[in-house]
Amino acid sequence: MAPTVTSVDASEPKVASIKTLADSDALTYVPSEYAYTMDPNDKGDENDPEHSIPIIDFALLTSASPDERAQMIQKIGKACEEWGFFQVINHGVPESLMKEMIDACRRFFELPEEEKKEFQTRNLLDPIKCGTSFNVAIDKVRLWRDYLKVIAHPEFNSLYKPAGYSEVSLEFSKRTHAVATEILNGISESLGLEADYIAKAMNWDRGLQILAANYYPACPQPDLAIGIPPHTDHGLVTLLIQNDMCGLEVKHNDQWVLVKAAPGAFVVNVGDQMQILTNDKYKSVWHRATVNNTATRISIAVPHGPALDTPALPISELLEKEGEKAKYIGMTYEKFMELQASPAAYMMPCLDHLRVKDN
């Protein structure tokens, strides 16, 4: 499907892609506009076995055995409460398809800059958009990454180039959405609710799914740049895959932990909408993307959220069960995404904008 072409706002600065910059033979240092100061005490012990994110066996989660399923549901609940992150194995999505999806995105980023210009737009919900950094108009520091974001649900959109992207992304988005649905059901049950409770409440059938590919080329001074700074995800659940290069770090017990996922696993995290629904029981955890000086890292994050017109509110049944007051006011998912992309998010975390003042 050919995309709707939206021109770039002429008032915005024209910034070359990070790929173009990184490919320059003369690049031996990080330019000042990309210089990111990281606290030297903000590094964790990546080899500590206690800091390995939990593993969920999808085959057991979908098992016909009530005991096996119950065990995984309990494990999901514990992972959401203690980590906000877990990895999913035996999910049935072929590893070959995951690699094909990463390769298709790589081939997009390798297109000549002129061929990618038609997809450059800053409109938040344009079906297809690519760019570099985050928001070059207001960013204090530019990020060491290029991105491609394609909305795949509730309406499937796709690129007509590079060749093969459309077919691979359609299959990948369908398979990933099916896995996300089962995970959402497991989270719902871990809270003592019906399996489809959250899906119904959040209008999951019309929910937003985005294929968000990130390209992090090798950096000559990786300690002086950042792929994506600490942030939380705006949706309900995000599924992520990556090539052989690590770089995702998660904040756990006030320490940054490098995620080392099992081959072929999905890395899953709960987002801001889930934290609102659970009234802070399940946390949307801070995470970041670091860079390296060895090789290009490509990740594909697939956030799944409510329908755009649907506000998340703390679930009344959970409030009654825990004897708590609601800690958040409502806001539609679309408005929440706009908030996250605005300068207001630089001043205060998005969830704090919705937090009831007396809590």
Q: How many helices (H) and strands (E) does the chain have?
A: 12, 12
Average pLDDT of the residues in 170-176? 98
User: Quick one: DSSP state of residue 252?
Assistant: E
Query: Residue 278 maps to which CATH number?
Result: 2.60.120.330
Beta strands in 91-236 (DSSP E): 128-132, 146-153, 209-216, 228-231
Tens of pLDDT, residues 238-263? 999 999 999 999 999 999 999 999 99
| Unique residue bearing structure tokens 């629904």 | 277
Q: Count up the domains in the chain and report the number.
A: 1
Q: Is the pLDDT of residue 165 over 50?
A: yes
Q: Indicate whether 42 belongs to any domain.
A: no
Range of the domain at 76: 48-353
Tell me which amino acid residue 278 is: T
The reported pLDDT for the residue numbered 346 is 78
> Residues 136-154: pLDDT tens digits?
555 678 999 999 999 999 9
Asked if 169 contacts 127 with a C-beta cutoff of 8 angstroms, the reply is no
Q: Which of 20-34, 169-183, 328-342 has the lowest mean pLDDT?
A: 20-34
Tell me, what's the pLDDT at 259? 95
Of 329, 354, 327, nearest to 339 by C-alpha is: 354
For residue 7, what pLDDT is reported?
Answer: 32
What pLDDT is attached to residue 194?
98
Would you say residue 249 lies in a domain? Answer: yes
Report the first-to-last Cα separation within the chain, whole angstroms: 48
- Check residue 9 and give its pLDDT: 37
Is residue 131 one of the residues assigned to a domain? yes
Average pLDDT of the chain, as a whole number: 91
φ and ψ of 86, to 5 deg: -160, 165
Q: Concatenate the DSSP letters of all residues of 287-337 into one string.
A: EEE---SSS-EEEEEEEE---TTPBP---HHHHHHHT----B---BHHHHH
Average pLDDT, stretch 176-189? 98
Q: Please report the pLDDT score of residue 113 as a whole number.
A: 92
CB-side neighbour CA atoms (13 Å) of 108: 34
More confident residue, 3 or 232: 232
